Amino acid sequence: MKARTPRSLPNQAAIEKLAPAKLNLILRITGLRNNGYHEIASLFVPVALYDTLRISKREKGLELYCSGRKVPKGSENLVHRAATSFFENTGIDGGAEIRLTKNIPVSSGLGGGSSDAAAALLGLNQLWGKPLKKRGLDAIALCLGADVPFFLLQRPAVAHGIGEILRPVEEIPSFWYVIVSPSLMVSTAWAYSKFKLKLTNEEDLNNILFFKRIDANIPDMLSNDLESVTFGKHPFLLSIKTSLIELGALGSLMSGSGPSIFGLFNSKKKAQEAGKILESHTRGDVFVVKGLS
């Protein structure tokens, strides 16, 4: 899939924004706050699998139209909530029509909903002349969800806190990814609630939190504390991970709370060959995409 360039109309009456999916190359759960949120140490990488939002100005009101995949409507949709928050926080007397085309599977561990919300914020802010600076956008994003601030950044980053404290990674090896997303939805809240918190090795945690470059062997670093939870309920997911390794992946891991499983490949050709084989016997979606830097 080739990266696309967002388009805007001449007078900025409308704009098209791309909302990329993400993968967690590392996801460690390091603590639990009093409000119920889990603290994490994670390495996020955006990939060239996109939802698309076309945002148009209108005089009043907010209309959201969705196609491609079934998603919640109205205030239950993060895009709708993001747009509502934008107008409330800026005091702008206007409205918008947003047409969302969903390509990223829903509740798949790929962050599609959070990415859509971030793209909506960025698009609306650009259309209205950037009334919100970074701090304002970040504040709205965090209220919408722990992953949304990362999608404002849209580059590889280490995250800690509940995901809102981000440190961009200056250099990261480039991979092609084969992502297998079974026809199954996993609740993020459920997965975290089932995880049994254990002590985190401080040396490992410091390595995750503070590096700015990644010169180590990424396939050896792959780690996701939620795999045991989701695999425990859906054991067939392990066979997907095994298949990816057998087809030549340098490493394989579940992303987020799942159920999507990805494999890392060092060439487009190898990734495409593996993807083609997996498509023939996988009930769900298979994507062959490049990581974004």
Active site residues: 22, 147
What is the per-residue pLDDT for 2? 43
What is the per-residue pLDDT for 212? 52
> What is the DSSP annotation of 258-275?
SS-EEEEESSHHHHHHHH
What is the per-residue pLDDT for 36? 77
Burial 202-239 (b: 16+ CB within 10 A, else e): eeeeeebbeeeebeeebbeebbbbbbebbbeeeeebee
End-to-end CA distance of the chain: 15
**Token output for 76:** 């239950």
* pTM of structure: 0.91
221-275 pLDDT per residue, tens:
899 999 999 999 999 999 999 999 999 999 999 999 999 999 999 999 999 999 9
Are residues 264 and 172 in contact, defined by beta-carbon separation less than 8 angstroms? no
Nearest to 169 by CA among 177, 159, 179, 183: 159
Q: 206 to each of 44, 171, 246, 288, how far by Cα in Å?
A: 16, 18, 32, 32
Positions in the chain whose pLDDT score sits under 50: 1-10
Nearest to 243 by CA among 188, 290, 280, 198: 280
